[in-house]
């Protein structure tokens, strides 16, 4: 999940990250990630697991590692989805990034690579290495740049529509297989007493998740991927207008908040499904086990998922799923780089990976074989199976593109919801931002 980002905040974050990256000393000695670790000193780690129930995961691993190596002290900086980017921006700008730090894929990770901040891990994690072969190649390649491997994938992720089977049964409807059927299902669900689709866009990124999946459906894949790079982007395919129109149709016809969605938190929408007030909520695999927690009205047996369906006449890839692994980088300037590698090997062992993939965490590990019907909830196992079977994964719109373009899409999604801009006007603002980013 992505944190909230106003234009002002994101402009500052992008500037700080870019300047700090560019200021990295290219002649600094490269971290020797393949050296034998010295089990002493302090190791600092910036995670995205702040708050319950995730916080305990790294706390337990750190305690276990310290018990194995009494002369090592682990400093955890645990942030949430809502704070990680601001924290990373602050630490980057002050050149105080820890030894290990969280990253998304796409342009976000590439900024650290370009700036010489991310250590080259090719010798220890590339496909064919002992550690690398414990991961799926798709997860590793998401952090590959110019033939080198920089990231440690911790878990995989994808976006699906979660729904209450009981609500669908009450409304007398089946799981929709086209976008048109999805819209048609909203009337019967509302008549049955449910908010058809719970949606909160106060943080900006939830709208982009809908848009990116719709883009994958409606824009030819080669065109879409070319548009992620400012040097080749045109952002003029008619599929974008189709996607923006479909998104507006969904917001206006299937959500109770409509034009007021920009004032609703995504957690409020999440709670609406868990509490039995809504029939559907568009969510990441990482959220599945949060919906069916003890006390929720939607139980694990009642909870189902399906990909956001493509329109009947989609010109893109109807079998693509929006998603991406998420993981960690090692600071190229860290004197503890070898120890950092050793810790992350420990953190991604089969035992730890199975724990991560199980309730209450429900974070589907990128380690091969960690997500099974025995280790994970039914929904998490089903979701990751669908992710693995997808024709392609399309990375989050706000991390795959450069910050200027991501900002334009954030503002555009909000304007589309509020009715203050047309699809054509949103695209004009995106093209202008792209021109500025060249």
Q: Tokens for 100, please give them.
A: 């290990």
Complete DSSP assignment for 56-95:
HHHHHHHHHHHHHSTTEEEEEEE--TTTHHHHHHHHHHTT
In 82-164, which residue ranges form alpha helices assigned H by DSSP?
84-93, 107-114, 122-125, 137-141
Residues near 184 by beta carbon (within 8 Å), at least 6 away in sequence: 176
Tell me the C-alpha distance between 332 and 101, whole Å. Answer: 11
Mean pLDDT of 404-416: 97
pTM: 0.85
Confidence of residue 81 (pLDDT cuts 50, 70, 90): confident
- Tell me which residue of 426, 376, 433, 328 sits closest to 104, measured CA to CA: 328
Is the pLDDT at 347 greater than 80, yes or no?
A: yes
Q: Are 272 and 198 in contact (CB under 8 A)?
A: yes
Is the pLDDT at 5 greater than 80, yes or no?
A: no
Domains observed in the chain: 7-157+324-370 (3.40.190.10), 159-322+397-437 (3.40.190.10)
Tell me the C-alpha distance between 407 and 127, whole Å. Answer: 35
- The model's pLDDT over 164-195, given as tens digits with 9 standing for 90+, comes to 999 999 999 999 999 999 999 999 999 999 99
Nearest-5° Cα angle at 297, 295 to 299? 85
Tell me the C-alpha distance between 4 and 33, whole Å. Answer: 34
Nearest-5° Cα angle at 384, 378 to 385? 85
- The model's pLDDT over 36-55, given as tens digits with 9 standing for 90+, comes to 999 999 999 999 999 988 99
Is the pLDDT at 31 greater than 90, yes or no?
A: no
- The model's pLDDT over 140-162, given as tens digits with 9 standing for 90+, comes to 999 999 999 999 999 999 999 99
First to last CA, the chain: 28
């Amino acid at each position: 999940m992505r944190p909230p980002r106003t234009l002002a905040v994101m402009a500052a974050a992008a500037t700080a990250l870019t300047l700090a990256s560019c200021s990295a000393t290219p002649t600094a000695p490269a971290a020797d990630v393949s050296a034998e670790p010295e089990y002493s000193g302090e190791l600092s780690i910036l995670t995205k697991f702040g708050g319950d129930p995730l916080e305990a995961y790294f706390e337990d691993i750190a305690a276990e590692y310290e018990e194995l190596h009494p002369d090592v002290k682990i400093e955890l900086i645990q942030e949430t989805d809502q704070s990680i980017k601001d924290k990373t921006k602050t630490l980057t700008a002050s050149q105080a990034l820890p030894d290990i730090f969280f990253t998304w894929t796409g342009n976000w990770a590439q900024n650290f690579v370009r700036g010489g901040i991310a250590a080259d891990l090719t010798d220890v994690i590339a496909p064919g290495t002992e550690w690398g072969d414990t991961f799926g190649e798709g997860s590793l390649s998401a952090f590959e740049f110019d033939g080198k491997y920089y990231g440690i994938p911790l878990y995989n992720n994808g976006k699906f529509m979660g729904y209450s089977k009981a609500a669908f049964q009450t409304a007398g409807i089946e799981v929709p297989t086209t976008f048109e059927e999805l819209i048609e299902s909203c009337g019967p669900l509302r008549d049955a007493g449910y908010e058809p689709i719970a949606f909160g866009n106060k943080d900006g990124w939830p709208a982009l998740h809908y848009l990116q999946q719709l883009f994958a459906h409606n824009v030819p894949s080669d065109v879409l991927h070319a548009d992620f790079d400012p040097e080749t982007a045109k952002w003029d395919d008619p599929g974008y207008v189709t996607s923006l129109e479909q998104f507006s149709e969904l917001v206006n016809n299937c959500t109770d908040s409509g034009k007021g969605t920009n004032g609703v938190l995504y957690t409020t929408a999440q709670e609406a499904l868990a509490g039995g007030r809504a029939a559907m909520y568009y969510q990441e695999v990482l959220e599945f086990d949060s919906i069916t927690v003890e006390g929720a009205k939607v139980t694990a047996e009642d909870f189902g998922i399906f990909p956001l369906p493509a329109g009947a006449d989609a010109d893109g890839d109807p079998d693509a799923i929006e998603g991406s692994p998420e993981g960690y980088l090692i600071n190229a300037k860290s004197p503890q780089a070898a120890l950092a590698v050793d810790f992350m090997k420990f953190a991604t062992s089969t035992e730890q990976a199975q724990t991560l993939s199980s309730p209450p965490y429900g974070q589907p590990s990128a380690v091969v074989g960690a997500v099974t019907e025995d280790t994970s909830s039914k929904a998490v196992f089903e979701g990751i199976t669908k992710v693995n079977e997808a024709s392609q994964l399309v990375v989050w719109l706000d991390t795959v593109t450069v910050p200027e373009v991501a900002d334009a899409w954030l503002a555009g999604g909000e304007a589309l919801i509020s009715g203050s801009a047309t699809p054509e006007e949103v695209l004009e603002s995106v093209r202008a931002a792209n021109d500025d980013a060249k």
